[in-house]
Amino acid sequence: MSGTTPRNTLRTIHKPHKKMNEHCHCDHHGEHAVSPYEQAFAKFDLHLHDEQVSAAVHRLIDENKAKYDTDEVKRQLLGTVELTTLKVTDSQESVLQFTERVNKFADAHPDLPHLATICVYPNFAKIVSETLEADNVEVACVSGGFPSSQTFIEVKTAETALAVHDGATEIDCVLSVGQFLSGDYETCADEIAEIKAACAGRPLKVILETGALQTAENIKRASILSIYAGADFIKTSTGKIEPAATPEAAYVMCQTIREYYALTGTKIGFKAAGGVSTVDDALSYYTIVREILGEEWISEGLFRIGTSRLANLLVSDILGEECKPF
């Protein structure tokens, strides 16, 4: 593959399925064909060592986080929050109350940044979209068999289309981790592309479930695959398994986004989710994004934090008094 690999080209391989380490028969010139997955991976630095990644990200945080511990940054962080409720006990009534708290907060504090989104299960898209009054807050839905991604692609796309029909303006889906770890990159890419098509132009965030991927190299390969298959954001975790978000995973994902931007000029968003529960945690992820990707990722809404607890802590910190608006 010469030049830049266009996004969404990874899904163009047809049956029979080929894993990355399988080669086609010789072509007309007697050379082995290389799969699009290998071609895409070859454009990135995959020589990663987990210990070196850990040392590098902790050094980056230690050297830079203090300068971002400011009121201005905490206000920016409030604007990155995807206020999330993904509980088995969620109901129409509880989600309505959840949305009303966001409306009341926006009315009471017009001087503070609005939240980025309310994130709910797909069956609650309609009630959120119909009752959300706070300006510029998106309606995000987890879809595609969240949190395991273990269902039929027809179910994944139907669930996504129904969520969008009911008012979802953003979709979060989970990479088929089992297929990825088995080397079936084609199925992973095809599914992301089909879910992206079902989004009907809405942004798609692909959750890598980095704790299940285990190694920095796997996280980078999953990031590359997801981006080329159509992800507008890559996201760390569902929050349903441990470890969830880690600075190491964020570091690798942001490095991949930076390399992809250098190759294509296209900016992909990053979302940290799963266990981001303190202001100090949020400052760590802000530092990684700011130092690797730059301030424009934050100002352009390309950095998000999925959380159910952080928003209250940020508001309390900014206002200088304990409060729990959400």
Handedness of CA 7, 267, 148, 139 (dihedral sign): negative
- The helix/strand/coil state of 53 is helix
Q: Copy the structure tokens of residue 139.
A: 């309606």
Angstrom distance (rounded) from CA 164 to CA 202 = 8
Indicate which residue of 166, 232, 271, 281 is catalytic: 271
Angstrom distance (rounded) from CA 81 to CA 288 = 16
Angstrom distance (rounded) from CA 114 to CA 144 = 28
172 included as an active-site residue: yes
156 included as an active-site residue: no
Angstrom distance (rounded) from CA 57 to CA 109 = 35
Angstrom distance (rounded) from CA 102 to CA 267 = 29
First-to-last C-alpha distance (Å) of the chain = 50
Indicate which residue of 65, 196, 205, 235 is catalytic: 235
Indicate which residue of 172, 190, 232, 281 is catalytic: 172
Residue 130 sits at φ, ψ, to 5 deg, of -80, -20
Beta bridge partners of 120: 141
Angstrom distance (rounded) from CA 75 to CA 193 = 35
Angstrom distance (rounded) from CA 44 to CA 46 = 6
Assess contact for 37 and 221: CB atoms under 8 A. Answer: no
Handedness of CA 1, 262, 238, 199 (dihedral sign): negative
Q: Copy the structure tokens of residue 33.
A: 């064909």
Angstrom distance (rounded) from CA 244 to CA 187 = 24
Assess contact for 54 and 222: CB atoms under 8 A. Answer: no
205 included as an active-site residue: no
Active-site residue numbers?
172, 235, 271
